[in-house]
């Protein structure tokens, strides 16, 4: 069979891996911001994504205005939920990761139940704008139009995020807070404000990913867990230091989940975690690189 | 790891269980089967929370519909129906069943969504010697002397449609399904009968492709493999959220023009609404469709629609039939319908008139010998519906 391997059948999975990877990136970027920058382990992150997904399902009606409305509403709702989590994390609780994990875990439980209570136990249908509800020809293959556009939009989001962290005052403050939180506090910027801000922005990112990604990882009772798991894998693979690392890790996860499955379907259940184990094993043998912020 | 486990549901189920266990035990001292003069107590166990709550609620509603259209009586006796929550599976089903069997002392147990739950409750049934008329999940069991099912065995849908697919597909068929017991059974039923009929599988190694369950949400890589295999049609079985993902992605994939054949659960009930136009033209095999033309079904569908939105599902129908089975068995069990006598009476039922058409219990498996129907998803007014296209094989036994 080795001679029979052709590239052609794997083009679509490879392209799909990019779409999937970028979605995972936008979702995981929030978690990296929280954990890597603010030092907060937010296990309710997947729930924030689910808020965006359910908002999309509730508001999308097949037209463009509804997509814009859903994007704004989903982002704002998830950002508000993120700020709420930050509010719950009092200064004392913020100190230990175990306390944070327990608290945000509880928030995820309660949030998940509230979502199911509000939207029902069934996976709700998501209607994308009619113009994108079809497939287009890509180098001789059919590929969903929505996913193609999603790749462009998510790439734009990734670029904006990079610029925001590198170039804006807020981004610099946040990076400064990682390097030396006490110094930033001494400069008159409240760490609480940074924490609330970071969690709200992370929530907004998750919400936006949830809305835009709803046609790919649809809202449902398992969505929050799936997204949290994938985001944590990205955090482990990409490290907490940089958005570039996160992007690479997310794209790798995307390819493992699509191209990897297409190439070796029988190993599909283990591929992701095998990759994670390899990265951890390799990293353990390397001298510790100094932690950089972005 | 616990991250992939639906935690919130567990917590809620635990709270529900706590309530259930705290409930007063007023009837505990009564004789089993005689809570009041002439009345009988029936236990219904179904998923009212968790992943399968849509199925569980359909089953509860189907049973209650039979009661409400029969003056609340089975076999001429007033029925006290005790409903308990099966939750996500064995862990929650066993305590709920224990309460029904040992505390409420029901004369018969019905419902149960999951095959795993049935297997876990099975020893309790043997211990209490209470007959079980299941309406859905059916695991492999050694001794079915007290176990009856109004649903089907998991390998029967595929077995029933195999020769039709062979006759109507010019070329090879790709078989794909979820990687768990239900998926293995459903696909094995199809592939064995299909190959026996002379059909050829398009899968490269001649073996069904199984996708990790429930982790698979993106089927694009599998569609690429199906395309590369040169298949002329696809046979599959998915249910719930996976069915929605599979169908929606299939409709936008490069194999969207390949005919899709499936076990009926792919497009049954709520998932069809979520799939929307993507489900159009899918062929599926099931033991029921709401548009079946017989007197029992017309009455059943009319009564269902008077109370609910939409059409009844096969889950509701099977539970409705479980009530019909108990109705006739209790009537036949004499003046003192003990669990033992009801069980013996079920074995004497013979032909059972049902919304699905007439069927009977197989003497060996205690599951229905019934006709299967070919359905296609077609527009029905503004909504989509599974429309009967023809009869398939009679399978069972």
Region for A197 from its dihedrals, namely left if φ exceeds 0, alpha if ψ lies in -120 to 50, beta otherwise: alpha
Nearest to A123 among B4, B49, B274 (CB): B274
Q: Which residue of B has its CA nearest to A123?
A: B241
**Residue carrying the six token digits 């996160």:** A246
Of A65-74, A264-273, B263-272, give the range with the top mean pLDDT. Answer: A65-74
Structure confidence at residue B2 as a pLDDT band (50, 70, 90): very low
Query: Which has more pLDDT, B263 or B242?
Result: B263
Q: Above 70 in pLDDT, residue A24?
A: yes
- Which DSSP symbol is given to B38? T
Instruction: Looking at the complex, report in whole angstroms how far the Cα of residue A144 sits from the nearest Cα belonging to chain B.
Output: 5
Q: How confident is the model at residue B110 (pLDDT cuts 50, 70, 90)?
A: very high
Q: What is the pLDDT of residue B29?
A: 39
Dihedral-angle region of residue B110 (phi above 0 means left; psi in -120 to 50 means alpha; beta otherwise): beta
Candidate from A58-72, A267-281, B3-17, B272-286 with smallest mean pLDDT: B3-17
From chain A, pick out residues whose CB is under 8 angstroms from the CB of B218. Answer: 16, 20, 216, 257-258
- Three-state DSSP at B207 gives coil
Residues of B within 8 A of A218 (CB-CB) are 217, 241, 244-245
- Given an 8 Å threshold on Cβ–Cβ distance, is A142 in contact with B224? no
Residue B211 has pLDDT above 60, yes or no: yes
CB atoms A259 and B4 under 8 Å? no
Q: Pick from B36, B285, B283: which is nearest to B160 by CA?
A: B285
Give tens-digit pLDDT for A65-110.
Answer: 999 999 999 999 999 999 998 888 866 555 678 888 888 999 999 9
| CA-closest candidate to residue A268, choices A257, A279, A277, A276 | A257
pLDDT at B49: 81
B87 and B343 Cβ atoms separated by less than 8 Å: no
Q: How far is A150 from chain B (nearest CA, A)?
A: 15
Average pLDDT score, chain A: 85
Which pLDDT score is estimated for A115?
92
Q: What is the reported pLDDT for A156?
A: 93
Which chain A residue is nearest to residue B248, measuring alpha carbons? Answer: A215
Which residue, chain included where needed, has tokens 């050694």? B142
Question: Phi and psi for A141 in degrees, rounded to 5?
Answer: -125, 160
Taking residues B339-361, what's their average pLDDT? 95
What Rg value do the Cα atoms of chain A yield, rounded? 19
What is the model's pLDDT at position B276? 86
**Nearest-CA distance B161 → chain A (Å):** 27
The pLDDT of residue A88 is 85
> Residue A252 pLDDT more than 80?
yes
**Inter-chain touch B225–A9, beta carbons under 8 Å:** yes
* Contact flag B254-A221 (C-beta cutoff 8 Å): no
Q: What is the pLDDT of residues B117-127, one digit of tens each?
A: 999 999 999 99
ipTM, 2 dp: 0.72
**pLDDT in the model for residue A288:** 56
Give the model's pLDDT for residue B5.
Answer: 40
Measure Cα distances from B389 to A279, B1, B277, B284, B385 in Å.
54, 45, 19, 10, 12
Nearest CA in chain A to B6: A222
What pLDDT digit, counting tens, does each position of B322-334 carry?
A: 999 999 999 999 8
Residues in chain A: 294
The residue with greater pLDDT, A100 or B298, is B298
| pLDDT reported for residue B114 | 87
B220 → closest Cβ in A13, A134, A226: A13
Taking alpha carbons only, the member of B292, B289, B225, B223 closest to residue B260 is B223
Q: pLDDT by residue (tens digit) across B82-106?
A: 999 998 888 899 999 999 999 999 9
Chain B CB contacts of A225 below 8 Å = 3-7
Residue A175 pLDDT grade (very low, low, confident, very high; cuts 50, 70, 90): confident
Of B317, B267, B319, B269, whose CA–CA distance to B297 is shortest?
Answer: B317
Reply yes or no on whether the pLDDT at A208 is more than 60: yes
Backbone φ and ψ of B350, nearest 5°: 75, -145
Instruction: Name the minimum distance, in Å, from the CA of A155 to any CA of chain B.
Output: 20
Flag if A113 and B11 touch (Cβ within 8 Å). Answer: yes
Q: Is residue B31 over pLDDT 50?
A: no
Q: Which residues of A touch B3 (CB under 8 A)?
A: 225, 228-229, 232
Chosen from B4, B8, B253 to mutate, greatest number of chain A CBs within 10 A: B8
Looking at CA atoms only, how far is residue B218 from chain A in angstroms? Answer: 8
Partners of residue B252 in chain A, C-beta under 8 Å: 134-135, 142-146
pLDDT at A290 over 70: no
Tokens of A210: 């949830």
The answer for residues whose C-beta is within 8 angstroms of residue B375's C-beta and 6 or more apart is: B264, B267, B283, B284, B285, B286, B289, B386, B387, B388, B389
Q: Which residue has the higher pLDDT, B359 or B142?
A: B359
The burial of A257, by beta-carbon neighbours within 10 Å (0-12 exposed, 13-18 middle, 19 or more buried), is given as buried
Residues of B in contact with A143 (CB under 8 A): 252, 254
Q: What integer pLDDT is reported at residue B239 of this predicted model?
A: 85
Closest Cα of chain B to A168: distance in Å? 35
**Which of A9, A119, A270 to probe by mutation at the B interface, max B CB count within 10 Å?**
A9
Which domains, from first to last, does chain B contain?
2-152+296-366 (3.40.50.2300), 156-286+372-395 (3.40.50.2300)
Q: Which residue has the higher pLDDT, B72 or A128?
A: B72
CATH of the structural domain A2-285, one choice from 1.10.10, 3.30.519, 1.10.3470, 1.10.150: 1.10.3470
**Cα–Cα distance list, B103 to B19, B30, B82, B125, B339 (Å):** 15, 10, 11, 14, 15
In this prediction, residue A2 has a pLDDT band, given cuts at 50, 70 and 90, of very low
Q: Which of B6, B221, B309 best probes binding to A when mutated, by most A CB atoms within 10 angstroms? A: B221
pLDDT, greater one: A66 or A291:
A66
What are the beta bridge partners of residue B77? B74
What percent of chain A lies above the pLDDT cut of 70?
93
pLDDT at residue A207 greater than cutoff 70:
yes
What is the average pLDDT across B237-256?
Answer: 89
Helix-, strand-, coil-residue percentages of chain B, each rounded to 5: 40, 20, 40
From the candidates B85, B175, B252, B258, which should be mutated to test the interface with A, based on the most A CB atoms within 10 A? B252
Predicted local confidence at residue A287, as pLDDT: 65
- Report d(CA B120, CA A171) in Å as an integer: 55
Distance from the Cα of B275 to chain A's closest Cα (Å) equals 7
- The mean of the pLDDT values for chain B is 88
**Percent of residues, chain B, with pLDDT higher than 90:** 68
Name the residue in chain B with its Cα closest to that of A229: B3
> What is the arithmetic mean of pLDDT over A153-175?
85
Phi, psi angle pair for A222, to nearest 5°: -100, -5
Contacting A residues, span 42-101, partner chain B, CB-CB under 8 Å: none
User: What pLDDT sits at residue B4?
Assistant: 40
* Structure-model confidence comparison of residues B202 and B87, the more confident one: B202
Asked whether the beta carbons of A52 and A78 are under 8 A apart, the reply is yes
Q: Do B221 and A134 lie within an 8 Å CB cutoff?
A: no
Q: Work out the percent of chain A whose per-residue pLDDT is above 90.
A: 35
- Quote the pTM value: 0.78
Which residues of chain A lie closer than 8 angstroms to B211, CB-CB? 265, 268
**Which residue in A105, A125, A141 is closest to B254 by CB distance?**
A141
B73-74: strand order across its sheet: B73-74, B77-85, B40-46, B108-111, B132-134, B147-149
pLDDT of residue B12: 54
Judging by DSSP bridges, how do beta strands B147-149 and B368-380 pair with one another?
A: unpaired
Largest CA distance in chain B: 68
Instruction: Pick A217's closest partner by Cβ from B217, B227, B228.
Output: B217
Q: A269 in contact with B at a CB cutoff of 8 Å? A: yes
Average pLDDT score over residue span A226-235: 90
Q: Which of A6, A125, A258 sits opposite B273 (nearest CB)?
A: A125
Given B53, B179, B215, which is nearest A121 (Cβ)? B53
């Amino acid at each position: 069979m080795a001679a029979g391997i052709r590239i052609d059948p794997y083009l679509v999975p490879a392209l799909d891996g990019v779409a999937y990877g970028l979605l995972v990136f936008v979702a995981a970027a929030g978690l990296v911001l929280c954990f890597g920058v603010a030092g907060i382990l937010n296990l309710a992150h997947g729930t924030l994504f689910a808020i965006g997904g359910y908002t999309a399902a509730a508001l999308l009606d097949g037209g463009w205005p509804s997509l814009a409305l859903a994007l704004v509403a989903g982002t704002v709702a998830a950002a508000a939920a993120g700020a709420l989590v930050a509010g719950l994390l009092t200064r004392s609780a913020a100190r230990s990761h175990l306390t944070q994990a327990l608290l945000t875990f509880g928030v995820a439980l309660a949030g998940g139940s509230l979502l199911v209570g509000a939207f029902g136990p069934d996976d709700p249908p998501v209607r994308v704008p009619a113009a994108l509800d079809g497939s287009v020809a890509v180098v001789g293959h059919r590929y969903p139009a929505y996913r193609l556009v999603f790749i462009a939009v998510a790439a734009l989001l990734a670029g904006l995020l990079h610029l925001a962290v590198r170039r804006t005052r807020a981004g610099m403050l946040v990076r400064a807070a990682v390097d030396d939180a006490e110094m930033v506090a001494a400069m008159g910027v409240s760490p609480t404000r940074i924490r609330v801000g970071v969690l709200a922005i992370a929530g907004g990112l998750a919400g936006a990913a949830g809305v835009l990604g709803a046609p790919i990882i649809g809202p449902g009772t398992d969505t929050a867990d799936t997204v949290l798991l994938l985001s944590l894998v990205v955090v482990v693979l990409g490290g907490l230091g940089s958005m570039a690392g996160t992007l690479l890790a997310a794209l790798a996860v995307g390819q493992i989940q699509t191209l990897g499955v297409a190439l070796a379907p029988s190993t599909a259940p283990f591929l992701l975690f095998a990759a994670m184990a390899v990265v951890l094993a390799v990293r353990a043998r390397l001298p510790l690189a100094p932690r950089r912020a972005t | 790891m616990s991250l992939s486990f639906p935690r919130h549901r567990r917590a809620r189920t635990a709270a529900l269980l706590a309530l259930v266990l705290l409930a007063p035990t007023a009837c505990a001292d009564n004789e089993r089967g005689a809570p009041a003069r002439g009345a009988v107590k029936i236990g219904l166990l179904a998923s009212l929370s968790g992943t399968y709550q849509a199925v569980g609620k359909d089953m509860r509603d189907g049973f209650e519909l039979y009661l409400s259209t029969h003056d609340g009586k089975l076999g001429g006796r007033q029925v006290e129906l005790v409903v308990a929550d099966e939750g996500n599976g064995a862990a929650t089903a066993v305590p709920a069943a224990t309460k029904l069997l040992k505390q409420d002392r029901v004369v018969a147990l019905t419902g149960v969504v999951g095959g795993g739950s049935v297997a876990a409750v099975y020893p309790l049934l043997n211990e209490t010697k209470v007959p079980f008329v299941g309406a859905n999940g059916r695991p492999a069991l050694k001794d079915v002397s007290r176990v009856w099912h109004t649903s089907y065995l998991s390998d029967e849908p595929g077995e029933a449609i195999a020769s039709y697919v062979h006759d109507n597909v010019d070329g090879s068929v790709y078989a794909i399904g979820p990687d768990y017991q239900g998926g293995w059974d459903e696909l094995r039923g199809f592939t064995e009968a299909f190959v026996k009929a002379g059909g050829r599988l398009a899968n490269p190694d001649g073996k069904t492709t199984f996708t990790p369950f429930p982790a698979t949400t993106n089927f694009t890589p599998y569609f690429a493999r199906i395309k590369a295999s040169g298949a002329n049609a696809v046979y599959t079985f998915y249910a719930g959220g996976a069915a929605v993902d599979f169908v929606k992605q299939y409709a936008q994939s490069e194999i969207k023009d390949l005919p899709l054949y499936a076990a009926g659960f792919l497009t049954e009930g709520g998932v069809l609404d979520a799939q929307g136009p993507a489900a159009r033209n899918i062929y599926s095999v099931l033991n029921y469709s709401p548009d079946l033309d017989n007197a029992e079904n017309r009455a059943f569908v009319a009564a269902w629609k008077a109370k609910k939105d939409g059409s009844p599902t096969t889950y509701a129908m099977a539970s409705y039939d479980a009530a019909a089975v108990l109705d006739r068995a209790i009537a036949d069990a004499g003046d003192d319908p003990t669990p033992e006598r009801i069980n013996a009476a079920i074995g004497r039922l013979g032909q059972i008139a049902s919304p699905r058409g007439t069927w009977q219990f197989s003497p060996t498996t205690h599951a229905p010998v019934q006709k299967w129907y070919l359905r296609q998803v077609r527009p029905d007014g503004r909504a989509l519906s599974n429309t009967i296209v023809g009869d398939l094989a009679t399978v069972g036994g």
